[in-house]
Amino acid sequence: MVSQHILSILQQVQDGAMDIHAAYEHLKISPFEDLGYAKIDHHRAIRQGTPEIVYGAGKTKEQIEGIVASLLSHSPFNILITRLSQESALYLEKRFSLTYDELSQVGIVNRKADLTASGTILVATGGTSDIPVAEEAALTAEVLGNKVERLYDVGVAGLHRLLSHVDKISGARAIVAVAGMEGALASVIGGLADCPVIAVPTSVGYGANFGGLSALLSMLNSCASGVCVVNIDNGFGAGYLASMINHIGGNQS
Amino acid sequence: MVSQHILSILQQVQDGAMDIHAAYEHLKISPFEDLGYAKIDHHRAIRQGTPEIVYGAGKTKEQIEGIVASLLSHSPFNILITRLSQESALYLEKRFSLTYDELSQVGIVNRKADLTASGTILVATGGTSDIPVAEEAALTAEVLGNKVERLYDVGVAGLHRLLSHVDKISGARAIVAVAGMEGALASVIGGLADCPVIAVPTSVGYGANFGGLSALLSMLNSCASGVCVVNIDNGFGAGYLASMINHIGGNQS
Amino acid sequence: MVSQHILSILQQVQDGAMDIHAAYEHLKISPFEDLGYAKIDHHRAIRQGTPEIVYGAGKTKEQIEGIVASLLSHSPFNILITRLSQESALYLEKRFSLTYDELSQVGIVNRKADLTASGTILVATGGTSDIPVAEEAALTAEVLGNKVERLYDVGVAGLHRLLSHVDKISGARAIVAVAGMEGALASVIGGLADCPVIAVPTSVGYGANFGGLSALLSMLNSCASGVCVVNIDNGFGAGYLASMINHIGGNQS
Amino acid sequence: MVSQHILSILQQVQDGAMDIHAAYEHLKISPFEDLGYAKIDHHRAIRQGTPEIVYGAGKTKEQIEGIVASLLSHSPFNILITRLSQESALYLEKRFSLTYDELSQVGIVNRKADLTASGTILVATGGTSDIPVAEEAALTAEVLGNKVERLYDVGVAGLHRLLSHVDKISGARAIVAVAGMEGALASVIGGLADCPVIAVPTSVGYGANFGGLSALLSMLNSCASGVCVVNIDNGFGAGYLASMINHIGGNQS
Amino acid sequence: MVSQHILSILQQVQDGAMDIHAAYEHLKISPFEDLGYAKIDHHRAIRQGTPEIVYGAGKTKEQIEGIVASLLSHSPFNILITRLSQESALYLEKRFSLTYDELSQVGIVNRKADLTASGTILVATGGTSDIPVAEEAALTAEVLGNKVERLYDVGVAGLHRLLSHVDKISGARAIVAVAGMEGALASVIGGLADCPVIAVPTSVGYGANFGGLSALLSMLNSCASGVCVVNIDNGFGAGYLASMINHIGGNQS
Amino acid sequence: MVSQHILSILQQVQDGAMDIHAAYEHLKISPFEDLGYAKIDHHRAIRQGTPEIVYGAGKTKEQIEGIVASLLSHSPFNILITRLSQESALYLEKRFSLTYDELSQVGIVNRKADLTASGTILVATGGTSDIPVAEEAALTAEVLGNKVERLYDVGVAGLHRLLSHVDKISGARAIVAVAGMEGALASVIGGLADCPVIAVPTSVGYGANFGGLSALLSMLNSCASGVCVVNIDNGFGAGYLASMINHIGGNQS
Amino acid sequence: MVSQHILSILQQVQDGAMDIHAAYEHLKISPFEDLGYAKIDHHRAIRQGTPEIVYGAGKTKEQIEGIVASLLSHSPFNILITRLSQESALYLEKRFSLTYDELSQVGIVNRKADLTASGTILVATGGTSDIPVAEEAALTAEVLGNKVERLYDVGVAGLHRLLSHVDKISGARAIVAVAGMEGALASVIGGLADCPVIAVPTSVGYGANFGGLSALLSMLNSCASGVCVVNIDNGFGAGYLASMINHIGGNQS
Amino acid sequence: MVSQHILSILQQVQDGAMDIHAAYEHLKISPFEDLGYAKIDHHRAIRQGTPEIVYGAGKTKEQIEGIVASLLSHSPFNILITRLSQESALYLEKRFSLTYDELSQVGIVNRKADLTASGTILVATGGTSDIPVAEEAALTAEVLGNKVERLYDVGVAGLHRLLSHVDKISGARAIVAVAGMEGALASVIGGLADCPVIAVPTSVGYGANFGGLSALLSMLNSCASGVCVVNIDNGFGAGYLASMINHIGGNQS
């Protein structure tokens, strides 16, 4: 795509349709809008056909409003806002068509549910307390056009809870395994699954959990093949990657 | 598959073809061979149609020999041995048809090169010193039936080296990004690619690298979407996962 | 027990009392109730004859209420709720017969005090500030049917306080040693005792205590034999394990 | 026991059989032999009826020889020497009746195999590389009079290998779970077992394993109840504690 | 300068203009004012011709007031107050001519904008959330007499945003690169720039960011030459050093 | 002292003044009062002639009240309460003659200022923000009968502030060096002083300070001889030790 | 320079001197030579007028030979090889005109000593053991055309050794401060100097030095302004940056 | 002393016995000899009346020889060389009158045993493996003129070994407590002693010992008053400080 962009500009220069300084400016000027505090890429959605994503943490509600308004003026797609505080959500709801999930702090503008991939993504958690992170993953994957199945509270201390759902594991095209504490869920699912497993360590736990470090190290050292890891509590990253993998398997017909 | 196995045994019980104690033994006895020091799963290759994998580190050469012999007696597939010391390789070469890559310490018994997936896996490194880990990933992916393209020494300090290969990045179905030191390669490739990027931190570096910790943390905190991480120096894990993803995209016809 | 469960189902299939699909469903369906946010194991109490345990942290008061109600509908045993916030306790008190200990944040539904083991568990602390964790251990052990003796504020800086209670140490069947700061209590008790010592590091301290790390490492490196360690501040885990050990020594007659 | 010792000395003082200075010397003089570089407790074996234990690491072969000779002059019991280098073993073999296990670096002087407890201790490992640590635990437990069952290479990535031995798990009175990498074995066994599980993290692994830290943290954060942890690679400590627990259940008749 | 000070005192002694005890007192007495809680160096501004700097964190508003008053009585230069809380700013505004930037918590007394160096300092950030730290750097550099250009939200995940400003990078005499998360911005800018790059890791991020550790280690391990690092969130330190470097290149004429 | 205690009891047994069971009870019963939540050593003050010390953190105001009341009933000496919250101080002030220093959170009951040692203790800080910890040290030393000199805000970045007080350094019998950030003050003072330097790292700082870790490691690695370290922010410990050392040098006559 | 490159290509397209596909290839093809294991940038030396630099660690002697040969065929400048093992140096000496410094493991091909900057760079160390790292910095700076002054073994524990060279500190245009252990040298020099101080922590030390961590954290937390930090033992990085800063101050005339 | 030095120079200037440039040179020139790789302070021994100390690690045998030769030419006192490798010792023995202790790697030139302080220093260890560090402390203290008593292998797991030597503890003027593993020895001795206790953590141990970190943190968090800590394995530092403290108590008459 980038090379086609260059070729097309060069063609216009050769055709005399563009002089070299204009061409240089085109090559130089990036396809984004500069709000000062943010540089918004309006071509990404068009290029990739995916919703826009805004990371809400560390931004004021006015900054988020500005970014969303800019995106809406260029793109027909959904906008996913992660780590959106309740206060900012209340502010945005008055201005945009926002759906907000309090548990996972996910906001979606212009929510639409079109499936664009044919497979299923399984999102599993070790415990009840991991659900907020899991929902961030699940909602992200749904907004990105995937069918998502949830399997919560199936930690390895009660193995039969997980084993009784072996069919869901073997039916998925990608699995997001969300767990805190010792994070063993990822290894056990990794040993049972034939598809990629994206492990999400959570900060759930206390003491020698050290803010999610125990689950993170555990998942990185998984003895099961086909397991990879994202950042602690990064449900969004796991949902996004699962969607990428699921779409490789073919679009929804 | 597991549920079909259970159903088939139950069917035989119902048919009177098997009594309940024999059935119990079947349900109980796992499909592996017990060598005492190792329990070898002979059904995995048959079930998944993939080569067997042996992790060579921490095993004596005699133990590896025993495992390989056991595998060969059950499976027609390749056997991949990772972290195989030169000493053990010399020992095995006299007993099996072994191909050994000294740089990456990868050994392959019965090497065959059939492509079974249609896409391409790109393996990139930040520097020359990261090549051993990258080769472990590349050889793993090749043995598992993938076409692999290598792009070495394209670290972000000389960005034009990477940018001049943007076409390779956009042409891949999965990318393995191998880097030590600050590990920024994964983020930069992640920002350019539309496919999953599997980041492999390496222990290459010194001082505040802390054995690969700097690259590991850097990759886990990547600001690019679609990036996941495996253990430090885990080329095998990255190659295996990349193969899984590539095969989702359809088999080689 | 699991194998008896399988054998019994197979017997029914062989007897024609169950068809194979029903049997499969029985084998597949796990013995728990699915509340969506939690999967509750109703067989555990029956199987093990022990009270149910609910980990309260990270659960809403409504979720805890749902779990307790589900447990009460299946089991006659006590229900122990750890890490129960005062707010949740106030909410539950209106719905169930709850006993709540504010210091240790332990709640017990249907409190009963039947002794089921013959030995004594000693719970000792290094200082006054370690008492909340110690009480979590002591209350857990009591609910599980053990006689518990408390020995608080016997840290090693004033050794005579501990030495004057050597008889309590030699009279216990299992000891829970709770200490923060340098955690030396576990080693000193370990050197004096002839029974298992379960060390609980606490996060009591400041500075280079690093949230309990100093006591944790100290206890893991104990030079005394017969000492094991649980997570920082994990009074429940220590009380549960001490009860397991105490019950090995014979039930209360 | 200590108090009986004091009482007996006081009795002799009262009886005039001992003057106060002699009594003071008796109270002061500890029941050990001082070799200068080591203070050997000759009463421990007599008091506890257990073999003597010598920690071999960091001691010269001459120091070990001196300690063993001193012990042999006072005690009829076995002497267990852990972390005994091959070089020291060769040196000691010429002087004492030594049995030496090279894999686990365990040496035993005057090996005897009398069972003194009635239950069985199960020692399980995640992989083949964990066996040396497991053998340290198993040999320790055997020397201390326990029946030991070994279950090696049953890591959670191939769950059926473990599940096919569920009967061994339910038949044990104490379990030692030895695992490196992500250490999930402890949690999975902890969820299946009704007896105490002593988790031993090993330094087996690489990269983000950080010398056993990943398995250690994983085990400390285990979501299963009844699990405790000893130091990384501390097979001896686990075997010793398992023996203590097993002997609570009653002696071999 | 220090040696000239000594020489001048010695000259007066030799000239008889000062006796040795007075000289000793002069040599001994440091050129600062002692407020008890602070020792204020009044010669620094005169000696170096730069504004005074007060680190506001950990000081009461009354202490800051006292220090500012003392400085104002000796120096005509600006006073820069970093980490100044809003509460303290409100208090100081009533007493001094204070300009306060809420975002970066920077306060300036007697703000003047004289340029004293000829080059330009570029301050760049990876994301919107890094702006407060970047502004601390930018305002510091401006108060110290530098022309500052800002380039915000040019993180490496969207490389074209940065590449479209390559001219700003090549036009700077010193660059401050501010980034959290994986901190790759420093390496990428370092690879593009021909001038010193001062990397400022920020605590922006979550999970395995560990309070800025990931960006810090990443920047310390940068594979680009000409990059150095200051403390996490230390915008002031970077701005101060950039100013030092910029002034080496010659003063504003 | 302990041996004299034993001898005296034995003497009474020999003299028939005490029977052996009473003697045993005397030997067994420790010289402390048991409040349940605390075991108070009433002999320490008498034995050592020093004030009692209560560590206030983690204790309720009622517990502190109980401990103080118990101490007052046995001892004529001062009582020092460290880490005493303002709320607890207000509560205690109504019940006892309490002097409270808000900055350092030190409370003293029955404050008396008798000097009992002849030397001077110097307490120095790197910055203004380190003063609370320094005051904890200074007040502790004063209560324990020492003359204390304060030297605050003499950090190494302005070396002349420290060098102008070289006479105070050489005049001290023990020095407490309190510093956060890089903690270099301890090494510099250690190089100038001929007496023991007790280094107190403080948690003052931010970013890579990691709660005082930077100063702690710096001080532990001091290249100056005669420097030792106490816990982060442990002003009390430093003041106590300085007093011990000062009293070795002879009492106040 | 990059933009001029683009403009020149576009000009040729517009002039008809180049067709668009050739232009695209020119834009795409990077200005480096691809050796497979390394991608060598031949334009850097020409563009920047500086010697080439090869990082020797982790490269085979044959790889280094290939890189040096490639560089020599394009560039008239010196080639600096850091972290060059003695073995590789012996191999290269037979093929190129190599100067090798064993202490710092620095090799220089075609050594020339032309001064290109007017100021002086001071390289100071805390101790004798820091000299290898300091020499890496000094030799790097010399090869890059700077005058270097060395000031070794002036650690802060003997402050007069440093203070007696205050004139060297005030005469430098940039200072490299190399220190292990507590790393206080950087802060003390930072407080005395008016020019940028580049701090290099070394791994010299033991125990709580943790491989250079203590000096690294100390330097990052320096209370002196104008101090920045490079990686542990990174003498090269410090020398390179010092040279950059020194050249800003004007070239040697 | 420093001020007397200044005054004396000033006096000569005033008297005309010295001109100001000579005086400046005197003030500037430090009282050390510059060997290039080391700056040797010849006044320290004279000023403090103590032996010279050379830290042998990281210095070549030729460098140590040069330093010793320089010291011998100026000072009549002993020279203590710590961390002296056997190889260097053999080299030095041929040139100087060297006494070498292989275990602790301590070398002493011109060994003399004059007692200069009246008290006794007790050096205690937890185990046999801690003896090398303890001997470094003991030999250092002896060379510095102290009477030293050794108490080895008295770890807290066998408390009676320590308690039987309570008289040695109460008879010491300073105690050096050397321990690895959990380092509890320092706290227990600290609770028994009335004199300063200098705790030396050792790197003895394995696993979660993390190179001495466990003992270090344990000792820093000691609940006993009067305990301070030096670096891991820093026997020299402890011996030096103990000597300082012991000499405060008065010289040997």
Residues F127-139 have pLDDT tens digits of 999 999 999 999 9
Which chains neighbour D (Cβ–Cβ under 8 Å, 3 or more pairs)? Answer: A, B, C, F, H
- H25 contact E CB<8A: no
B98-112, C215-229, D28-42, D56-70, range with the lowest pLDDT: D28-42
Closest CA to D142 of D187, D94, D108: D108
* CB atoms C221 and H156 under 8 Å: no
Nearest C-alpha of chain G: how many angstroms from F221?
Answer: 5
Select the residue of E166, E221, E229 nearest G229 (Cβ to Cβ): E229
Per the CB < 8 A criterion, the answer to whether D242 and D134 are in contact is no
* CB atoms G207 and H232 under 8 Å: yes
pLDDT-derived band at B153 (thresholds 50, 70, 90) equals: very high
Contacts of B152 in chain G (CB under 8 A): 36-39
- C28 contact B CB<8A: yes
Running DSSP on this structure, what letter comes out for residue H179? Answer: E
Nearest C-alpha of chain H: how many angstroms from C159?
Answer: 7
B72-76, B88-92, C25-29, F115-119, range with the lowest pLDDT: C25-29
Residues in chain G, pLDDT under 70: 1-7, 21, 24-32, 41-50, 75-76, 111, 113, 251-253
In the predicted model, is pLDDT for residue D37 greater than 80? Answer: no
Express each pLDDT in E103-130 by its tens digit: 999 999 976 768 889 899 999 999 999 9
Contacts of F213 in chain G (CB under 8 A): 217
CA gap C225, F57 in Å, rounded: 33
* CB atoms B24 and C10 under 8 Å: yes
Contacts of G16 in chain A (CB under 8 A): 14
> Residue D48: closest CA among chain C residues belongs to which residue?
C194
A104-118, A234-248, C172-186, range with the lowest pLDDT: A104-118
The dihedral through the CA atoms of D12, D17, D19, D21 has a sign that is negative
pLDDT at position A139: 96
Select the residue of B31, B59, B231 nearest D208 (Cβ to Cβ): B231
pLDDT at position F48: 54
Contacts of C194 in chain D (CB under 8 A): 48
Express each pLDDT in B108-124 by its tens digit: 997 676 888 989 999 99
CA gap G183, F182 in Å, rounded: 8
Cα angle F181, F183, F184 (rounded to 5 degrees) comes to 125
Contacts of B134 in chain G (CB under 8 A): none
* CB atoms D161 and B211 under 8 Å: no
DSSP letter string over F144-193?
TT-EEEEE-S--GGGHHHHHTTHHHHHH-SEEEEEE-TT-THHHHHHHH-
pLDDT at position G46: 46
Nearest C-alpha of chain F: how many angstroms from D15?
Answer: 8
> Residue A227: closest CA among chain B residues belongs to which residue?
B241
* CB atoms E208 and A212 under 8 Å: yes
Residues in chain C, pLDDT under 70: 1-7, 21, 24-32, 41-50, 75-76, 111, 113, 251-253
Per the CB < 8 A criterion, the answer to whether D137 and D242 are in contact is yes
* CB atoms F20 and D7 under 8 Å: yes
Select the residue of A170, A230, A236 nearest B228 (Cβ to Cβ): A230
Other CB atoms within a 10 A radius of the CB of residue F253 amount to: 4
Which chains neighbour H (Cβ–Cβ under 8 Å, 3 or more pairs)? Answer: C, D, E, F, G
pLDDT at position D231: 96
Other CB atoms within a 10 A radius of the CB of residue B20 amount to: 18
Q: Please state, rounded to an integer, the average pLDDT across all residues of chain B.
A: 86
Contacts of B44 in chain D (CB under 8 A): 158
* CB atoms B19 and C14 under 8 Å: yes
Q: Please state, rounded to an integer, the average pLDDT across all residues of chain D.
A: 86
* CB atoms G220 and F207 under 8 Å: yes
Contacts of D233 in chain H (CB under 8 A): 206-207
> Residue G132: closest CA among chain H residues belongs to which residue?
H58
Going across the sheet that includes C79-82, the strands are C52-55, C79-82, C106-109, C98-101
pLDDT at position D109: 92
- D101 contact H CB<8A: no
Nearest C-alpha of chain G: how many angstroms from F138?
Answer: 24
* CB atoms G204 and H58 under 8 Å: yes
Express each pLDDT in H34-60 by its tens digit: 777 777 766 554 445 567 889 999 899
pLDDT at position E72: 87
- C204 contact F CB<8A: yes
- D243 contact B CB<8A: no
Select the residue of B126, B221, B223 nearest E223 (Cβ to Cβ): B126
Pick the more confident residue, A146 or C114.
Answer: A146
- C4 contact B CB<8A: no
Select the residue of B153, B163, B206 nearest G39 (Cβ to Cβ): B153
Per the CB < 8 A criterion, the answer to whether B145 and B114 are in contact is yes
Running DSSP on this structure, what letter comes out for residue C31? Answer: S
* CB atoms A210 and C211 under 8 Å: yes
Other CB atoms within a 10 A radius of the CB of residue A102 amount to: 11
pLDDT at position E4: 59
pLDDT at position A90: 96
Half-sphere exposure of A184 (CA within 13 A, CB side): 34
In the predicted model, is pLDDT for residue A30 greater than 50? Answer: no
In the predicted model, is pLDDT for residue E2 greater than 70? Answer: no
Average pLDDT rounded to a whole number, residues A126-153: 95
Closest CA to B151 of B137, B143, B241: B137
* CB atoms H161 and D212 under 8 Å: no
Pick the more confident residue, C72 or A241.
Answer: A241
* CB atoms D39 and H129 under 8 Å: no
Express each pLDDT in B64-79 by its tens digit: 999 999 888 876 678 9
pLDDT-derived band at D7 (thresholds 50, 70, 90) equals: low
Pick the more confident residue, B116 or B8.
Answer: B116
* CB atoms A158 and C39 under 8 Å: yes
Q: In chain B, what's the furthest Cα-to-Cα distance? A: 72
Contacts of F57 in chain H (CB under 8 A): none
CA gap E216, E222 in Å, rounded: 10
Pick the more confident residue, E35 or H45.
Answer: E35
pLDDT-derived band at D239 (thresholds 50, 70, 90) equals: very high
* CB atoms H211 and G209 under 8 Å: no
Select the residue of A131, A154, A209 nearest C39 (Cβ to Cβ): A154
CA gap B177, B224 in Å, rounded: 13
Express each pLDDT in B201-227 by its tens digit: 999 888 989 999 999 999 999 988 999
**Length of chain E measured in residues:** 253
Please give the backbone phi and psi of residue B30, each rounded to the nearest 5 degrees, phi first: -85, 155
CA gap D189, H7 in Å, rounded: 78
Per the CB < 8 A criterion, the answer to whether F181 and F204 are in contact is yes
pLDDT at position D252: 55
- E84 contact A CB<8A: no
- G53 contact E CB<8A: yes
* CB atoms D208 and B203 under 8 Å: no
pLDDT-derived band at E26 (thresholds 50, 70, 90) equals: low
pLDDT at position H252: 56
Which pTM value belongs to this model? 0.90
* CB atoms G161 and H233 under 8 Å: no
pLDDT at position G73: 83
Contacts of D194 in chain A (CB under 8 A): none
CA gap G223, B230 in Å, rounded: 38
Cβ neighbours of residue C43 closer than 8 Å, sequence gap 6 or more: C31, C32
- B161 contact G CB<8A: yes
pLDDT at position D30: 45
Chain B and chain G share a number of CB contacts under 8 A equal to 59
Q: Please state, rounded to an integer, the average pLDDT across all residues of chain A.
A: 86
pLDDT-derived band at B161 (thresholds 50, 70, 90) equals: confident
Per the CB < 8 A criterion, the answer to whether G236 and G140 are in contact is yes
Contacts of F130 in chain G (CB under 8 A): none
Average pLDDT rounded to a whole number, residues B24-46: 62
pLDDT at position A227: 96
Distance of CA E249 to the CA centre of its chain: 18
Express each pLDDT in E56-68 by its tens digit: 998 999 999 999 9
pLDDT at position E178: 97
- B245 contact D CB<8A: no
Q: Is E170 helix (H, G, I), strand (E, B) or coil?
A: helix
